Each structure stands twice: as C-alpha cells, then as structure tokens.
Amino acid sequence: MDFTRKLTAALPLALLLSGTALADVKIKFAEVHPSGYPTVVAEQEMGNKLVKDSNGDISFKMFAGGVLGSEKEVVEQVQANAIQMTRVSLGIVGPVVPDVNVFNLPFVFRDHAHMRKVIDGEIGQEMLDKITHSEFNLVALAWMDGGTRNLYTKKPVRDIADLKGMKIRVQGNPVFIDTINAMGGNGIAMATGEIFSALQTGVIDGAENNPPTLLEHNHYQSAKYYTLTEHLILPEPVVMSKATWNTLSPEQKTLVKKLAVEAQAEERVLWDKKSAESETKLKAAGVEFITLTPAQKKAFYDATADVRSKYGAPYTDLIKRIEAVQ
C-alpha cells in the first residue's frame, strides 16, 4: 500500500478519535544544503517555533544535506506527501508554473537589493500564489534568498570570450541552459550532488552558484576562479505539501504562514553574514574573485537579450513592473 493510500486510510480513525480535524501534524523538512547553511538554520528555527507555538500539535524534523534525495526527488516526495516541506529552486518550478520563469530570466533584477524589494512586495506574493494555485500540488509560503549566481570555473573567465566552449553545470531548466549557451558556454544540466566529481573528472569545466554553495559543497577544490557575472539572482520558495496543508486548522495555517515569513527575514541576515564569511574563506583557500568592469558585464547582458525575449515574451507587463520597483 503506498504512502498516500495509507494516509487516507488512517484519516477516518484519526477523525473519530479526535472528534475534529487532525490534531497532530508531523512535518519532515528536507534540504539539499548541509546543516549550518543559512536556509537550513532559518528553516530549523521556524520548525522550533512551530512546535512551541502549536503547543506540540505540530512536530518538526529537519533532514539536511540531501539525505532524502536530490532536490527533484524531494519535490516529488513532497508532492506525494511523503515529505511535508522543503525549499525548492525556481529552476524546478519553472517547467510546471511558467510564470515564475520571469524570476529565472538572466539579469531581470538590477542587483541583489532590487530582487529583495520585488519579493517583499506584491509581485513576490503573486508568484507564491501562482505556485500554490497551480497543478504543482504544493503551497508556497515564503521566499528564501539564494544570493547571486556567478560562474566558477577551472580556468579564469575575465571576459565573455573566455567562456566560449566551456561545459558549465546548470539546474535542469531550459532558461538556464539557454542562458549559458547564449554567453558562449555549453550548459549541462546536472544534480547538485554530481557536481563535485564532475569537476574533478573534467566532465564539466565549471558551474554557477553563490559563494556559500561553492564553499560548502567543496567545489572550490577544483574550481579556483569565481567570476562575478550576477547573471541570475534567484529567490527560492519554501513550500508545503498541499495534502498536509489541507489537514491544518485555520489557526495552524495562519501560524505556518506567519513563521515562514519570519524565516524569510531571518534567513536574509544569516545569508549576508554567511556570504561574506564564505568569500573570505574561499579567498584564503586560493579562489580568485574576478570583478567585471561595467563594459564587460554589459557584454554578458547583451549576449542574453534573446533569452529574455524568448522566455519573457508572455510577461512583458510583469517585467516592466519588476523594472519599476525602486
């Protein structure tokens, strides 16, 4: 008997015993990032508050470090309610909820501060609602900050021409693959857990992510050059299984949403601290941070114009609204 059927079969008995909706909610939260990572710390603190503020009616257990599977595998388990909550990259959401691909467009945000203003406002809430009301079978509660994504490579990329022909790992989303290809590289979709060995064995020449990921996943041992392209600045939603959400009382739903939004603010502080510390540690380990001139950065921006046109075409009004956020 599969998990979902077992859950359904257990419901009538639980309802008879309690006389009301399910009192006890068990939440397993899965994360691909390791313990101590900003998102994990903020999500664990959210869990601690959930247990306390629900008087123990909600229990919470964190499974960090990818122990329950890759991000894609975890999302599938949350959709089936085998896992109750996770933080998901928009690269995975995009193919199912096309509207979020606006956030996935290269250089759609001017900078990190601009992205934060957008997700804190009405556009950010609209995106969460679109995920919740889609066929994704998840309820989107708040945003985690994943920082800016930049290139890290075995050979230095000091100019867009240096990227030509390099095999660069990206999340499995056509927008990201096309973005790297447009910049002259060769986008290769691959799970996070495979990057370390792929860098070591030369299957890929580099990847793209933020400084804490480069450090925590030990990718810097092979990739010693970090080029600050800021081609993607991706917020990541915290989501709950719709099946679990539907068992919550109205008060529990309000509590979960409130604490998720608090976690959004707390993670941001942790992120900024961790990002700065990671940069210091990476430099000490011999990683060279390459800052582009405005003209060099514009070359990357210009090269990706067709990607923005292709994928952003249905969302021109939304893109204008994002650009208008000051």
Which pair of structure tokens corresponds to residue 12? 């009538």
Would the pTM of this model clear 0.85, i.e. be above it?
A: no
Rounded CA separation 169/199 (Å): 9
Which pair of structure tokens corresponds to residue 253? 């739903």
| Residues in Cβ contact with 161 at an 8 Å cutoff, skipping those fewer than 6 apart | 184
Over residues 116-169, the pLDDT tens digits come to: 999 999 999 999 999 999 988 999 999 999 899 999 999 999 999 999 999 999
Which residue bears the tokens 């604490």?
A: 259
Q: At the fourth CATH level, which superfamily is domain 3-324?
A: Bacterial extracellular solute-binding protein, family 7 (3.40.190.170)
DSSP letter, residue 232: E
Rounded CA separation 7/18 (Å): 16
Query: Which residues make beta-bridge pairs with 232?
Result: 149
Question: Do you know the residue count of the chain?
Answer: 326
| Residues in Cβ contact with 322 at an 8 Å cutoff, skipping those fewer than 6 apart | 102, 108, 109, 118, 123
Per-residue model confidence (pLDDT) at position 172 = 84
Which residue bears the tokens 């056509």?
A: 174
Over residues 186-240, the pLDDT tens digits come to: 999 998 889 999 999 999 999 999 998 899 899 999 999 999 999 999 899 999 9
> Do 172 and 91 touch, CB atoms closer than 8 A?
yes
Over residues 170-187, the pLDDT tens digits come to: 988 888 999 999 999 999
The closest of 231, 226, 232 to 291, measured between CA atoms, is: 226
In degrees rounded to 5, what are phi and psi of residue 33? Answer: -80, 155
